[in-house]
Structure 1
Amino acid sequence: MITVLFAAPDLWGEYSDVLPQALTEAGITAQVVQEADPGTVDYIIYAPSAPLQDFTPFVRAKAVLSLWAGVERIVGNATLTQPLCRMVDPSLTESMVEWVVGHTLRHHLGMDAHIMNPEHRWIPVAPPLARNRPVTVLGLGALGIACAQALAGLNFPVTGWSRTAKTVPGVRCLSGEDGLRQALTGAQIVVTLLPRTPGTENTLNAETLALPARGAVVLNPGRGPLIDDEALLAALDAGQIGHATLDVFRVEPLPQDHAFWAHPRVTVTPHIAADTRAASASGVIAENIRRAEAGEPLLHRVDRALGY
């Protein structure tokens, strides 16, 4: 029998029933436990917020399966020598697409002017068609590709940028430093979905925020450190960026005295763009354990050198 250590105690209530069921449905005979002798553990299900930080005793473990999409808080752990897989949950992808498409359409259609209109002003200004509103998506991982294709399906001209070259049907794809400048230049909506690595921190800074069309909108459901906060506030005050809708921050919850809360051109959402759902995530975990037991490649295995 396989021993699966569930090392994410805060999430046990969500997974205690659905995870064993998913393993059974995948044909895996396993016991899922919250405590075990490290030498008996075959797989570790993990959240970076968990107390477990030393993986050295888990000499038998074949993989560490994270419940989070982001792995920046674990990938640098020197004791972690086992294969590490990040979570790519179909439900998480769906919810991210819904958030990105919803807020893209909100800003594209100018909905705020009509919803927040205490003076009851008549504003007979129609938005341009989507085909005339260029959108740039920074990051072409699973989430970025899904969002880029959804927006392209609505007729937005979408440019996607990634650090390494990608090909996505219906999306203009660029890469490299020169490609970043090209992708941002003239964009009217910028969506940031890059992973957090030393190379992506402050991707949007004073220099790059000057490249989109004046009055452009920034949507960040990716990672807080992708944006230089002070540079963004300066760009908002100057009118270079017309609005920022932000779901992720350097410190969470966002401190009550942070300037984003009071800024009239900032919308704060409380890290809700994409959340892992226990039922569908359990299916991903079960499939990876099945693959490992069958000697097949693991899904969503993290490249330690790249950090994602």
Structure 2
Amino acid sequence: MPVNILFAARADQWRIYQAPLTKALLEQGVDATLSTDLAPEDVDYIIYAPDSAVQDFTPYTRAKAVLNLWAGVENIVGNPTLRIPLARMVDHGLTQGMVEWVTGHVLRHHLGMDRHILGQDGEWRADAPPLASDRRVTVLGLGALGEACARMLVRLGFPVTGWSRRPKDIPGVSCLSGDAGLQAALKAADILVLLLPLTDETENLLNAETLALLPQGAVIVNPGRGPLIDDDALLVALDRGHVAHATLDVFRVEPLPAEHPFWAHPNVTVTPHIASETRSETAAQVIAENVRRGETGEPFLHLVDRENGY
């Protein structure tokens, strides 16, 4: 009997994912009916985007798992009707995209590229940047994305400090955890990269108090979650020059409203949530693998810890 899989996301996403999912399920040997319209009581798996119309999971009485299309799960993990396993998206295409974006912007700030790209005014700016070994980078968040970015930055020669809630051990990275570890990680950040999940504990993690721990002239790069930063506190730190620049890809409200002061601030770069995208071809492979595992009794990959929120 075919496995019934409900695709619960926007119609434009169905057009993008239908063919890659069909192909990936066939490659995994899964006989599946994949549809956007199935009776809830017949559904075995739900491929899900948190902006889906499906918000009540109670009718899906035989479903074995919800397979999230997004890396972030903050908009679903607290749903009280969701009582079956939830898997987040850990996709090598998404990871590679994040590594490329983070590496590019860290190098941009390390090399001072803006001075030359934007400063074509006839002035000969001969000041060379330090080597990577003299520029300290801190990565807050050492999940799949944070670890991949930290490893790449180490390969480029940066001294990298990483911080996570739970202890980690990554070759070449000075891994810290806990409150004292967070303070030390911030103090060691000439360039700070934010790749934490959004939870009650991480919201406004960068506030007036913690921003003050950064070295004078530090740079912030945030492709993680907008609410990790207190916007008002960041603007104060930028105006005072304590933070030299902030490159922000994520925001509390998206699209970022035209009247938001980030747009006009000379020391803020806004990018429109493009640091990394779930790629349909590679994401489909992750989802198909989890369906295969569910059907053969193997443990699901990338399960969300409900207590920790990610």
TM range (shorter): over 0.9
What's the counterpart of residue 208 of structure 1? Answer: 210
Q: Tell me the TM-score normalized by structure 1.
A: 0.99
Q: In the TM superposition, what is the alpha-carbon distance from 1:118 to its structure 2 partner?
A: 4.1
Q: In the TM superposition, what is the alpha-carbon distance from 1:239 to its structure 2 partner?
A: 0.6
Amino acid at match of 2:306: R
The equivalent position to 1:77 in structure 2, one of 56, 79, 89, is 79
Q: In the TM superposition, what is the alpha-carbon distance from 1:50 to its structure 2 partner?
A: 0.6
- Structure 2: distance between partners of 1:291 and 1:178: 40
What's the counterpart of residue 9 of structure 2? Answer: 8
Q: In the TM superposition, what is the alpha-carbon distance from 1:169 to its structure 2 partner?
A: 0.9
What's the counterpart of residue 52 of structure 1? Answer: 54
Q: Mark the runs of 5 or more structure 2 residues left unpaired by the alignment.
A: none
Question: 3-state SS of the aligned residue for 2:208?
Answer: coil
What's the counterpart of residue 152 of structure 2? Answer: 150
More deviation in 3-12 or 98-107?
Answer: 3-12
What's the counterpart of residue 181 of structure 2? Answer: 179
Q: In the TM superposition, what is the alpha-carbon distance from 1:289 to its structure 2 partner?
A: 0.6
Q: What is the correspondence of 1:14-93 to structure 2 with a 5 Å cutoff?
A: 14-93=16-95
More deviation in 204-213 or 94-103?
Answer: 204-213
- Structure 1: distance between partners of 2:91 and 2:160: 24
Question: 3-state SS of the aligned residue for 1:143?
Answer: helix
The equivalent position to 2:130 in structure 1, one of 117, 128, 134, is 128
User: What is the aligned residue count?
Assistant: 308
Q: What is the correspondence of 1:231-250 to structure 2 with a 5 Å cutoff?
A: 231-250=233-252
Q: Given the alignment of the two structures, is residue 276 of structure 1 paired with residue 278 of structure 2, yes or no?
A: yes
The one-character-per-residue Cα deviations of 1:166-197 (angstroms, maximum 9, x if unpaired) are 11111000000100000010310000000000
Question: 3-state SS of the aligned residue for 2:259?
Answer: coil
- Structure 2: distance between partners of 1:162 and 1:68: 21
- Structure 1: distance between partners of 2:188 and 2:200: 26
CA contact (8 A) 1:160 1:174 kept: yes
The two structures, once aligned, show a CA RMSD in angstroms of: 0.6
Segments of 4+ moved more than 6 angstroms: none
What's the counterpart of residue 98 of structure 2? Answer: 96
**Identity rate, percent:** 64
- Structure 2: distance between partners of 1:212 and 1:126: 23
What's the counterpart of residue 255 of structure 2? Answer: 253
CA contact (8 A) 2:99 2:145 kept: yes
The one-character-per-residue Cα deviations of 1:2-41 (angstroms, maximum 9, x if unpaired) are 0000001331010111101100000100010101111110
- Structure 2: distance between partners of 1:88 and 1:73: 17
Q: Tell me the TM-score normalized by structure 2.
A: 0.98
Q: Mark the runs of 5 or more structure 1 residues left unpaired by the alignment.
A: none
- Structure 2: distance between partners of 1:127 and 1:57: 60
CA contact (8 A) 1:135 1:158 kept: yes
Q: In the TM superposition, what is the alpha-carbon distance from 1:119 to its structure 2 partner?
A: 1.9
Amino acid at match of 1:90: H
